Structure formats: structure tokens, C-alpha cells
Amino acid sequence: MAGFRVRRRLGAQELEVHDAELAKRAASALLAADERIRVTSDELGFAEAELGSESTAMASEALVSVRRQLSDAFRLNRLNHDAIPGTADEVRARNMRILQLCERADHALDEQTSALADRVARARRAPEIIAGVRADVAHLRARIPDARETIDRLAARYAREALAHVEANPAEAEQLLGFAEHSVGVAERRREAGQREQAHLALEASRESVRRAATLLDAVETFEVEALHAESMLAAIVEESRRDLAVALEEPHSRARGVANAVAELQAALAGLPPAGVNTDPFAHGRRLRRAHAALDAALAAARERATHPVPSMTQVRRAIEAADRQLDMARDVVVGHPGLIGAEALTRLAESERIRIDLSHSLGSSAATVKVTGRDDREQMIAMALRVASLASEVLDLARRDNDARRWQGRDRSRPRRVSLA
């Protein structure tokens, strides 16, 4: 017992030390966050003078949000230093919340000041960036004649539809470069006039135009390689499709409707290929052949699967329905013959079995003896429904037997004479 009291006393001492350390950390975090907000506010003022209020609006909103969080943290700190701060658990929870708010505020300020520093650095490097934009414009404009020659070379080999995505790229790049030159001139004039915010926006627009122009010219060069690759792949797909088409026509299932449709589609895709010497669109023809080839593979696989599982005959369908009806009639007779003795579970199974039998009758459209269903899926579905009817009816019989046995044993217990104690 004495040892238990010693361990308990040591635990309380450790908790007090922990709470004291937590309080010191919370106080230090509050001071650091307050100083960080003051420094960030000064930096934001300098950045607004260089970039303008619109460019620093997001950072200003973030600073307001951080000040609100820090105000909550100071309120919690005042509660901890009141005359009656509350229990030790409450004080501990407030200190942990203060640390959390300060950490969240520090993270938000890091994100905004980092982005703001990048924009300020770009603004201070504006002369360097302007020179870089003009150099990029000159370099990209020198690439435009080569891009036009590439388009002419591709037009002599491929159909116009294949070039639809890149045909106008050189002209669009020329237009974007002209816009970039105009924007960089505006940026220079606004900067000299002391309108830093407008100069920054114009410079950003010129940089974006240069980037888009470079993307357009790169797409022309990339397209030439992609077209050559698509053309070589088209030849391989054509050879493979013709070989697989010949194999499909030899299949015993080639006359099946799905296979026949897939064969016709692949034959049409092959027939749609232009003759030698005619410009082609290797991308479009390749996509059509791949789709038709995949459809043929799927149709053949389905036909082979059906061949391994023969279509159920109508005799099998009728026999399954008749067996289900017999089982269902037996279940009905048992329930009707024992009124009030059959439990709810058996009655529920019977109702479900009868519902499925009604659905089966709707699917048949006539009696089981005269129905003529030709579809494989229809026959399989009807056999499955009949088996489900029979299974539920069998469960009804088992449950009814269980209920009857339970009633019988209860009757025996009631009729058995009770022993009278003479003690």
C-alpha cells in the first residue's frame, strides 16, 4: 500500500512538471507569433508599395485571419492567468489549444510570405525579366519558319484532318509573340511612370504569352514524331487485324450474330483505309481499327464461352418450372393445414417464393407448357427464377416443421404433471 502511494505521488509530480513546461511553451509561442505578425505586416506594407494592393490582397486577407486566431489564443491565455483559472485539465487543454493556434498561424504566414517574396523578387528583377522576355520572343520567332516548313511537309504526307490540331500553330504563335512584345512595352512604360502594379500585370501577361507560343511550336515538332509512330503502328495493326479476321472467319461461331457484326465492322474499317499514295490520317484509322479489333476479340470470346455452356432446352425450362410449382404447392398446403402454428419467418419465405413465381409468369407470357422462349439469356434467367422458387419453398417446409416441433414440445411440457414438494 505504501508503494502505491509513492508511485501515485511521483505521477502527480511529473504531471505538474509537464504542465509547467507546456505553459512555458504556450507563452513563448504567443510571443513569437505576435512578433511574426508585426514583421509580416511591415513586409506586406513594403510589398504593397512595390506591387500594388491588388497583388497583395490575398496576403492581406490571410494576415487578418491570422490576427483573429492569435486574438483567440491571447483570450485563452488570459483565462489561464485569471484568479480562478479552472481545473488543471482545463488549463492544460487551453495551453494545447494556444500551441495549435500559433502553429496554424505560423504555417499560414509561411505560405503567404513565401509567395509574396517571389512576387516581390520578380518585381525587383523586372528589367532582367523584360530583357529575358524579349530574348525569348526573338528566339521563338526564329523557329516559326521551321514550324511552317514542318506543317507543309506533313501536309504532303498526311490528311488535313490529321493536322487539324497543329496546322494553325505557327500563325497563333506569331500572334502571341506580337502580344508579348506589346505587353512588355507596356510594362516598361508603366514602370517608368511609377505604376508598379500595372507594370507587374503587363509583364506577367507577356511571360504567359511567350510560354503559350513556345508550347504551340513544340507541339508541331512533337506531332511529326507522333505521326511517324502512329503510321508505323497502323501498319502493324492492319497486318494483325487481317490475320485475326481470317482466323475468325474459320471459327465455327463465325455465323453468330455478335461475331458476324464484329467481323463486318472490322472489314469495313480495313476497307476504309486509303490506297497507297493517298494522304491518310494514321491516328483516326488506328483508333477505328483498334476498336473494331477489340470488339471482334470480345465477340469471339463470348461465342466460345457460350459453346462450352450449351443453351438450356425448353424441356429443361418446363421441368424446372414444374418442379418449382410442386414444391411451392407443398409449402402452401403445409401452411394452410396448420393455421396459427407457422411462424413469421416461414410465412415471409412463402410470400417471397410466391412473388418470384408471379414474376416468372410475367416473363413467360403464357403457361409453362406452351411457352416458346428462344433467347439463351431468357432461358437461363427462367431456370434461375424457378430454382429460387423451389429453394424458398423448401425453406418454408423446413421452417414449418421446426415450428410444429416447437409447438409439440411446448404442449408436452404443459401436459406433464408438476411435482409437489412436501418439505
Same domain as 32, residue 19:
yes
In a domain, 271, yes or no: yes
Strand partners, 158: 280
Determine the pLDDT at residue 8.
46
Residues of the chain with pLDDT under 70: 1-12, 49-56, 119-124, 194, 253-256, 309-311, 365-377, 408-423
Same domain as 253, residue 191:
no
In a domain, 423, yes or no: no
**DSSP per residue, 241-270:** HHHHHHHHHHSTTTTSHHHHHHHHHHHHHH
In a domain, 419, yes or no: no
**DSSP 3-state assignment of 311?**
coil
Among 98, 124, 150, the domain-final residue is: 124
Cα(219)–Cα(230) distance, rounded to whole angstroms?
A: 16
In a domain, 395, yes or no: yes
CATH number for the domain that contains residue 17: 1.20.140
Among 177, 205, 223, the domain-final residue is: 223
**Residue 113 domain boundaries:** 7-124
Angle at the Cα of 149 from the Cα atoms of 147 and 154, rounded to 5 degrees: 95
Among 183, 200, 223, the domain-final residue is: 223
Determine the pLDDT at residue 253.
67
CA–CA distances in Å: residue 63 to residues 45, 48, 103, 113, 211: 12, 13, 14, 10, 32
Same domain as 87, residue 138:
no
End-to-end CA distance of the chain: 51
In a domain, 422, yes or no: no
In a domain, 210, yes or no: yes
Same domain as 135, residue 201:
yes
Same domain as 153, residue 107:
no
Cα(61)–Cα(44) distance, rounded to whole angstroms?
A: 11
Determine the pLDDT at residue 220.
92
In a domain, 296, yes or no: yes
Same domain as 287, residue 345:
no
How many structural domains does the chain have? 4
Same domain as 332, residue 270:
no
Same domain as 118, residue 132:
no
In a domain, 420, yes or no: no
The secondary structure of residue 374, as a DSSP letter, is -
| pTM of the entire predicted model | 0.49
Q: 368 and 318 in contact (C-beta within 8 Å)?
A: yes
Determine the pLDDT at residue 170.
93
Determine the pLDDT at residue 53.
65
Same domain as 109, residue 15:
yes
Same domain as 321, residue 302:
no
Same domain as 269, residue 217:
no
Same domain as 113, residue 11:
yes
Determine the pLDDT at residue 373.
52
